[in-house]
Amino acid sequence: MEMNSNRAIVSVPFLCLLIAILYPTDVAAIWCFQCNSQYDESCATLEPYQTNSTYHRLCREEENTGRQFFCRKVKQTIFDREDLVRVVRSCGYVTDPKNRSCYQYNSGGHKSVSCQCFTDSCNSASINYWSLLLYSATAFLVMRK
């Protein structure tokens, strides 16, 4: 009887170690906002602190081809629809070949700005501080005259 209890003592730690080794983890995973403003307008204005949003999701391995995930945000302006703006937030795994964090491209009747980033929740809405500074400086100069 004593021999069986020794086996049980050895088996429990071995089983725990085996589960820890084989259990899939999200160590290399990244959390990104995943939505399209065409279907929900609030997608265009998500803030980094809104991690309780239904759009804040873990990038799933089945969507990948073995490459590192990152977060992507694409802002599209559609000219022939009165400059309609769409925002698409998603996970990505094919990075820009020139390693730019953001790049712009024009295609027919629309312009797209695509940005990629590599930390959790980094594809939220952000303030463009340079634009804010430029607008503030312009307003200041106009008011001085």
Domain ranges within the chain, ordered by starting residue: 26-144
pLDDT at position 3, please? 53
Q: The tokens of 111 are what? A: 């312009």
For 82-108, the pLDDT digits (tens) are: 889 999 999 998 889 999 999 999 988
Q: What string of DSSP letters covers 71-87?
A: EEEEEEEEGGGTSEEEE
Please, what is the average pLDDT of the chain? 77
**pTM for the full predicted model:** 0.65
Q: What is the pLDDT of residues 31-48, one digit of tens each?
A: 999 999 999 999 999 988
- Give the whole-angstrom CA distance, residue 63 versus residue 29: 12
Bridge partner residues of 105 (DSSP): 112
Whether 8 shows a pLDDT value over 70: the answer reads no
CATH topology of domain 26-144: CD59 (2.10.60)
Q: What is the pLDDT of residue 67?
A: 77
CA dihedral 23, 29, 32, 34 (to 10 degrees): -60
d(CA 21, CA 41): 43
